[in-house]
Structure 1
Amino acid sequence: MIALEVLQKLYLTACEVELQAFKPGNVSVYADGHDMTVADFRASAEVSAGPLCRPDYSLGEKIYYSIKATREAVGCNTNLGIVLLCAPLIQAASMLASGETLRQALTRVLIQTTVADADWAYRAITLAAPGGLGSSCAEDVREKASVTLLESMKIAAERDRIAFQYSTNYQDIFDFSIGLYYNVMRKRIGRNWAAVSVYAGLLSRFPDSHIERKYGDRFSGMVAAKMASLSDALDRADDPEQLLPLLYRMDQDFKCRGINPGTTADLTVATVLTALLEDALGHGRSASQYDCR
């Protein structure tokens, strides 16, 4: 179990690491974009940290009140995906049983979700009004929930990568992206570049839900190819700062086309948070265990 103030600090750290990472097409300290700024994301992290870590809130309440606070602070959807992914991780870390791993606790949190959790989450999603939300014949978020939050996420898993994490106990993170993070950390070039590696690795392998809601698969192949080449360049680079010109070109190209891999950025935050939580719990794993290339 991790203390409340430590949970908040780790969440804020994960959000800041993701902003410090140069993620082509997304907002970072290197470049704003899509009518959002780094200041918007920092404010969103600050105001959502309290509700997300509040011990007397249910999982659904953590999600809703975090998004409500964000909406009141910045007036736009900066962190719905981040909150949806981080809330169960924070819940799991705060109720870890003796001898239990973070992923085992996460499994328990997800299995124990309720219809009320789904209702709170639906309210949060409707309030955030993410681009390309659309409607669904099954469990439309504009209606009252009739299934648990986990069951709802399973329904949406084929079309949404965040919902897929719920339905697979965060498979992309625990079985893939956290390995990329630790492999870069082993090189001692910093968490920010580890986050870039996570972002590029995920995008090279999995289509981004946010992009595909807006454009279908029109850009999926191109984005995957560019991110695969970036992953290779990061792997070969002795000094990743040398890749900044490449990253600026990619960023400009994506933003000129209106491409924003927002879901992958959210998964990057969740990956960093997972690693920070595991380290805080004394469960941090050696990078030598991983080979995600």
Structure 2
Amino acid sequence: MSRESPRSPAENAELALLLELAGTPKPGNVDRHRDLEELRFEQFLAGSVGSASGLRMAAAGAPLGRAFERSVAGMSRQSGGNTQFGCLLLLTPLVAAAAQDDLSPSGVERRCRATTVDDAVAFYRAFEHVDVAVGDPPEGADELDARRGAAAEPALRERNMTLWDVMELSADPPAGEPDTNGLEWVEGFPRTFTAADAVLADDGPVTDRTARCFLDMLAAEPDTLVATNHGADTAREVQQRAGKTLTAVRESGSLDPAEELAEAFVVEGINPGTTADRTAATLFVALERGLRV
């Protein structure tokens, strides 16, 4: 599908990060109305701007792993730590595809499948820039624990694991919950493209559309970060609560029920960050396809 945006793909990716942040309310996440205990609105603003050099590398055709690592390094240059690691993992291949006028499920999948062992090594190095909440590696694969950073390089090279292989393992682990960001990578970003169509079909301010998009995706499946931090049962409970809130939002035509859920999640320490990642990816696709701001 041809591009319909007046901005470059890298500019749209940065704008998508900023719009994701501005969307309010996004229950449990930083937005323009609420901070978290250790993460603040302005730190996400700085992270968005800092990621721009890596996003430009992706648009220029740099290897995905290297572009991602650069974007994370830039994002990390603020005082809050990890603000948008998962967002950038999704945006990097999307930007690369859009820059070649190939922003489609098959176009993005081609770029993800073409990744190399060097891309996987760069992905692991990115974990050295910020602390990222990840689950334990599969049994017998401690050497592939992402928290090892660059120390995992020998194991990656010995196993000849590309970045696609790493994402495939996270999407279908031998035990535990699948990572929905990994699923997006290996399935051609189906949730992202479907949600982008819904955002384009919606109306009203983009920040309100963002809030509705976030709630819709949170109600659709358990959030990986919630499952990592609080367990699978809590993630499913959060999904159910989001579903009830989404129904209330649709029936009332107001985002007030989502505001109530947002306040509750902040008090409970529930942070559906993986859903925020996909919201940023969704906004990028929508912007590329003509979403007006």
How would you bin the TM-score normalised by the shorter chain? 0.7 to 0.9
In the alignment, the residues of structure 1 paired with residue 19 and residue 103 of structure 2 have an alpha-carbon distance, to the nearest angstrom, of 24
Shift of 1:218: 3.0
Partner of 2:285: 274
SS where residue 14 of structure 2 aligns?
helix
Partner of 1:130: 132
Is the contact between residue 44 and residue 83 of structure 2 (CA under 8 Å) also seen in structure 1?
yes
Deviations 1:152-173 (A, max 9, x none): 1011103211111111111222
SS where residue 247 of structure 2 aligns?
helix
1:228 aligns with 2:246: no
1:85 aligns with 2:60: no
Partner of 2:175: none
In the alignment, the residues of structure 2 paired with residue 124 and residue 278 of structure 1 have an alpha-carbon distance, to the nearest angstrom, of 30
Please identify runs of 4+ aligned residues in structure 1 that moved more than 3 A.
Answer: 1-5, 132-139
Equivalent in 92, 110, 113 of residue 111 of structure 1: 113
In the alignment, the residues of structure 1 paired with residue 33 and residue 117 of structure 2 have an alpha-carbon distance, to the nearest angstrom, of 41
In the alignment, the residues of structure 2 paired with residue 133 and residue 68 of structure 1 have an alpha-carbon distance, to the nearest angstrom, of 22
Shift of 1:4: 11
Partner of 1:177: 195
1:153 aligns with 2:164: no
Is the contact between residue 44 and residue 74 of structure 1 (CA under 8 Å) also seen in structure 2?
no
1:194 aligns with 2:209: yes
1:251 aligns with 2:253: no
Shift of 1:140: 2.8
Cα distance change on mapping 1:51 and 1:157 into 2, 3 Å: same
Identify unmatched segments of 5+ residues in structure 1: 285-293
Q: Normalization by structure 2: what TM-score?
A: 0.84
Partner of 1:164: 183
CA RMSD of aligned residues (A): 2.3
Is the contact between residue 50 and residue 77 of structure 2 (CA under 8 Å) also seen in structure 1?
no
In the alignment, the residues of structure 2 paired with residue 87 and residue 81 of structure 1 have an alpha-carbon distance, to the nearest angstrom, of 10
Is the contact between residue 249 and residue 258 of structure 2 (CA under 8 Å) also seen in structure 1?
no
Shift of 1:101: 4.8
Identify unmatched segments of 5+ residues in structure 2: 173-177
Give the number of aligned pairs: 270
Partner of 2:79: 74
Shift of 1:196: 1.3
Give me the identity figure in percent: 25
In the alignment, the residues of structure 1 paired with residue 279 and residue 85 of structure 2 have an alpha-carbon distance, to the nearest angstrom, of 14
Equivalent in 42, 45, 64 of residue 45 of structure 2: 42
Q: Normalization by structure 1: what TM-score?
A: 0.84
